[in-house]
Amino acid sequence: MTASLISANDVAGAFEALKAARPRVHAVVNSVAETFAANVMLALGITPSMTSNPEEVADFATGADALVVNLGTLDAGRREAITRLVDSAGHRPWVLDPTFVDRSPLRCDFAAGLIGRRPTILRANPAELAALGRGEASLPALAARWNTVLTVTEAVDQVASGERLDRVANGHELMSRVTASGCALGAVMAAFAAVDPDPHDAAVAALVTYGVAGEIAGRAAKGPGSFQAAFLDALYALSPDAVASGARILEVQD
Amino acid sequence: MTASLISANDVAGAFEALKAARPRVHAVVNSVAETFAANVMLALGITPSMTSNPEEVADFATGADALVVNLGTLDAGRREAITRLVDSAGHRPWVLDPTFVDRSPLRCDFAAGLIGRRPTILRANPAELAALGRGEASLPALAARWNTVLTVTEAVDQVASGERLDRVANGHELMSRVTASGCALGAVMAAFAAVDPDPHDAAVAALVTYGVAGEIAGRAAKGPGSFQAAFLDALYALSPDAVASGARILEVQD
Amino acid sequence: MTASLISANDVAGAFEALKAARPRVHAVVNSVAETFAANVMLALGITPSMTSNPEEVADFATGADALVVNLGTLDAGRREAITRLVDSAGHRPWVLDPTFVDRSPLRCDFAAGLIGRRPTILRANPAELAALGRGEASLPALAARWNTVLTVTEAVDQVASGERLDRVANGHELMSRVTASGCALGAVMAAFAAVDPDPHDAAVAALVTYGVAGEIAGRAAKGPGSFQAAFLDALYALSPDAVASGARILEVQD
C-alpha cells in the first residue's frame, strides 16, 4: 500500500474547483434522503436533480456532470430508473451507495449487479460492506476485485483503490443522528468526481470537506436539530483555507 | 374506568429502557413525513428503516422490533406494502396511524380492514376518529370494540384500553405547525411498545416523552422553523429526570 | 401595459384575508419538495394535503379550496394524479409549476397539455419559461396566448396577465440555496388565489409575502440551514404591517 498521495492543500484545491465549476449532479436517492441531499448540494453550489422516474432519468443524466445511485426504498420503478441511469452514464462518474443491503437480500443482489457495472466510487458502511463482500474483510482486496474506489465510512473513513489506501479522520458524531447524512455524502463524492480526474482523490476530498463542515457544525450545535442547520450553514460558508487547515488525512501504516 | 396505573416515574423508567435498548422500528409512513419521522427516531437513539417497497417490507419487518403504519399518500404500492408488513408482524407490536381518513373514503375503508387485524396501538386525531368510529363518540367503547389501545391526540391526549383511560396534558401548540409531528409520534409509540410489555403504558410514555420535549422546544423557539430544530435537540438531550418532572398525567374523573 | 393596480396596502389586506380564512390547499408536488412545502403552508396557517395517489386526488380536491401541481419527479402515477386533479378542479383556482421542463422533453410536452387546461396561475423560472415559450420572450404575449396569470421568478419577479404587468423586488438570495423554495411558493400562490378573487393580485400578494419573509429570514441567517428555520419562523410571525411596509412593487415603464 502507498501512503497518501493527496495533501490537505490538494483537497483544498479540489474544493475550490468544485465551488468554481458548480457541477450538476443527478441523484436517484431514497425518498427519505432526497430533501437533505438536495440541500447539501445547494449549500455547496452544486445543482441537484433528483427524479427517479425511469422515463426521465436518461434525459437528466445527459444534462448532468456526475451521477449518484442510492438503494434506499428500492421498488421496481427505482430499480428500472437506476438501471437506465447507469446505462446513460457514458463517461460520467457515478457513485453507488448500497443503503441497507444488509437488511434486504433483494437489495444485496441488485447491488451485486451494479458493482459489475463498475461504479466510479462505492460508498458503504461496515455492515453494508460485510453483506456485499461475503466474508472478505480486506478493503484493498475488495477494491481490486470490484475495480472501484471503495470508501467505508465510520469514525475513521477509509478509501481504497489500486495500490492506494487513505484514512480520513474528519467528521462529527452527530452526523449519525441525522438521516440521509450518508446519502448526501454520496452526492458530494459524485460532485467532486465531476471536477477531479482522479476518483480516489475525489473521494478523499469529499470526505474531508464533509467532515470539516461537520466539525464546524458540531461545535455550534446543541443536538441533531441545530446540527442540521449548522451543517448546511458550514458547507455554504466553507473556505478552501478552512478545508486545508481542518483536513485530517492519516498516514497509513503498512 | 380506572384512574391512571402509570406514574411519572414509570414513564421515566420506560424512557430509560428505550434509550438503553435502541430498538429498530420499521415505518411505512407517507412521503411527506419520512424525513422528519426518521430524524425524530434517530434523535432518540431508535434505528429507523422506512422502505415502502412491497417486495422488501417483510425482510425489514424481520429485522425490526416494532412497526408503524401510516396511511398518508396511500397508493396501491403502499397498500400492498402495509398489508405485507402487517402479515409479517408476528409478535411485534405495530401502530396504526389513519392519516386523513376523514378526507378519503378509500383510506377509511382500508383503515377499517387494518383495524380488523388488531393494531397494538391506534393513534388518531378527533376528525380521523370520527370518520372511523361512525358516530360512536365514547373512546372506551371504541377501544373495546376494536380491542386495541386507542390514542386520540389533541390539546389533552387520551389513551383508552380495556378498563383504563389516561389523559396526558403535555405538548406545545407549535407541534401542529410542523408537518409529520403526528406521524413521528406514531413511530415513537412503536418504539416504546418494543420495550414496554404493556402497550397502554407504552402509549402514555410516548405521549409524555414527546410532549415534554415539545414543551422544552417551545420555550426556545421563535416559530415552527426553530421549533423543529429545538425539538430534535430536546429529544436528543432529554433525561429521565426531565421526563419524570415534566410529565402531566391527569386524573380521570369517572 | 398598465402600471400596477395593486398597492402595498392591498397586499397586506390579502395577507390578512389569508390568515383569517386558513384555506385548504391540495398540492401534488415532487417528493423532494413535499415536506418543505407542507411546512411553509402550516407556518401560514394553510392546511396542506399532499397525496399524489391517482385514486385519492379527486376526493382531496373536493375538500380543498385551491390546488397546485408541480412536475418534479413526474412518473406515470403522478401524471395520472395531476390529470385527475385538474379534472376535479371545478371552480377552484389551480397553479402550475413546470419544474425542470427545460431538462426533460417528456415534462415539457406534459406541461404544454396542462397549459391548454388553462391554469389560473403559471409560475416558472426563466429557463423553464424559455422551454415552454419556444422562442417567444415577451411575457405579456405568452400570458395572452395561454390566457393565464404568468409569473416568472428571478431576482425581480414579474407577473403578467391581460393588460397588466407587475414587478416585485422582494426576496433574498439564500432562497435559491434551499430546495423546494420555488415549489412552496406555488402552494402559497394557490392559497392566495383561494382568498383573492383576482388571480393576478393573488400572485403579486404571494410574491410580496414570501419575499418579505425571505428578507426577514435573510437578516437573521448565517447560511441556508439557519435560513430555512428563520424563514418558517418569519412566515409564522409575519404581520400585515410588515407586509405593507416591506412590499417592493416596482413601477413598470411602458
Minimal Cα distance from A222: which residue of B? B233
How many beta-carbon contacts under 8 Å exist across A and C? 93
Q: Kindly state whether residue C71 falls inside one of the protein's structural domains.
A: yes
Q: Residue B123 belongs to what domain range?
A: 8-249
CB contact under 8 A, C59 and B104: yes
Asked whether residue B150 carries a pLDDT value surpassing 60, the answer given is: yes
Confidence at B254, pLDDT banded by 50, 70, 90: low
B219 annotated binding-site participant: no
B117 annotated binding-site participant: no
Minimal Cα distance from A56: which residue of C? C104
Q: Kindly state whether residue C254 falls inside one of the protein's structural domains.
A: no
- Structural domain count of chain B: 1
**Which residues in chain A touch residue B230, judged by CB atoms under 8 angstroms apart?**
225-226
Task: Say which DSSP state A113 is in.
Answer: H
pLDDT of residue B137: 82
Q: Kindly state whether residue C152 falls inside one of the protein's structural domains.
A: yes
How many beta-carbon contacts under 8 Å exist across A and B? 92
Region C86-111: what's the mean pLDDT? 96
Minimal Cα distance from A78: which residue of B? B53
Please check whether residue A252 is in contact with residue A25, taking contact to mean a CB–CB distance below 8 angstroms: no
Highest mean pLDDT among A70-74, A135-139, B138-142: B138-142
Q: In what order do the strands lie in the sheet with B94-97?
A: B47-49, B24-28, B66-70, B94-97, B121-124, B149-152, B157-161, B164-168, B249-250
Q: Which of C53, C59, C233 sits opposite B226 (nearest CB)?
A: C233
| B230 and A CB contact within 8 Å | yes
CB contact under 8 A, B236 and A224: yes
Give the whole-angstrom CA distance, residue A223 versus residue B229.
Answer: 8
| B252 and A CB contact within 8 Å | no
Minimal Cα distance from C223: which residue of A? A233
Q: Kindly state whether residue B254 falls inside one of the protein's structural domains.
A: no
Give the DSSP H or E segment for A137. Answer: none
CATH of the domain at B42: 3.40.1190.20
Confidence at C136, pLDDT banded by 50, 70, 90: confident
pLDDT of residue A2: 64
Give the whole-angstrom CA distance, residue A229 versus residue C229.
Answer: 8
Please check whether residue C46 is in contact with residue C187, taking contact to mean a CB–CB distance below 8 angstroms: yes
Region C86-98: what's the mean pLDDT? 97
Q: Which of C31, C43, C233 sits opposite B31 (nearest CB)?
A: C31
pLDDT of residue A192: 98
Minimum distance, in Å, between the CA of residue B164 and any CA atom of chain A: 36
Q: Kindly state whether residue A3 falls inside one of the protein's structural domains.
A: no
Q: Which of A:56-85 have CB within 8 Å of C?
A: 56, 59-60, 63, 77
Say what percent of chain A tops pLDDT 70.
98
**Which residues in chain B touch residue A223, judged by CB atoms under 8 angstroms apart?**
43, 232-237
Q: Which of A78, A103, A229 sits opposite B49 (nearest CB)?
A: A103
CB contact under 8 A, B50 and A72: yes
What lies within 8 Å, CB to CB, of A140 at 6+ separation is: A1, A160, A165
Say what percent of chain C tops pLDDT 70.
98
Collect contacts of A143-146 with beta carbons under 8 A, ≥24 apart: A146/A115, A146/A118, A146/A122
Minimal Cα distance from A230: which residue of B? B229
Report the candidate in A102, A112, A29, A131 with the shortest Cα–Cα distance to residue B60: A102
Judged by phi (left if over 0) then psi (alpha if -120 to 50, else beta), residue A100 lies in left
Residue type for A201, please? Answer: D
Lowest average pLDDT, out of B150-154, C86-90, C247-251, goes to C247-251
A47 annotated binding-site participant: no
pLDDT tens-digit readout, C210-220: 999 999 999 99
Q: Which of C55, C59, C231 sits opposite B225 (nearest CB)?
A: C231
pLDDT of residue C3: 62
Q: Which of C35, C52, C228 sits opposite B225 (nearest CB)?
A: C228
Report the candidate in B14, B33, B31, B46 with the shortest Cα–Cα distance to residue B228: B33
Q: Which residues is C94 bridged to in the sheet?
A: C67
- Cell numbers placing A147: 475495480
Region C165-176: what's the mean pLDDT? 96
pLDDT tens-digit readout, A94-138: 999 999 999 999 999 999 999 999 999 999 999 999 999 988 889
Minimal Cα distance from C77: which residue of B? B75
| C185 and B CB contact within 8 Å | no
Q: Kindly state whether residue C172 falls inside one of the protein's structural domains.
A: yes
CB contact under 8 A, C104 and A60: yes
pLDDT of residue C72: 85
Report the candidate in C211, C108, C199 with the shortest Cα–Cα distance to residue C157: C211
* b/e sequence B180-191, b meaning 16+ C-beta within 10 Å: bbbbbbbbbbbb
**E strand intervals along B16-80:** 24-28, 47-49, 66-70
pLDDT of residue A72: 85
Asked whether residue C133 carries a pLDDT value surpassing 60, the answer given is: yes
Query: What are the helix (H) ranges across B89-164?
Result: 105-115, 126-133, 139-146
What lies within 8 Å, CB to CB, of C55 at 6+ separation is: B75, B76, B106
| B31 and C CB contact within 8 Å | yes
Q: Is the dihedral of CA A214, A218, A221, A224 positive or negative?
A: positive
Strands C47-49 and C66-70, how do they pair? Answer: unpaired
**Which residues in chain C touch residue B223, judged by CB atoms under 8 angstroms apart?**
43, 232-237
- Cell numbers placing A241: 483555507
Q: Which residues is C151 bridged to in the sheet?
A: C123, C159
How many CB atoms lie under 10 A from the CB of residue A239?
Answer: 12
Asked whether residue C254 carries a pLDDT value surpassing 60, the answer given is: no
B180 annotated binding-site participant: yes
Distance, first Cα to last Cα, chain A:
6
Give the DSSP H or E segment for A194. Answer: helix A181-195
Q: Is the dihedral of CA B144, B148, B154, B157 positive or negative?
A: positive
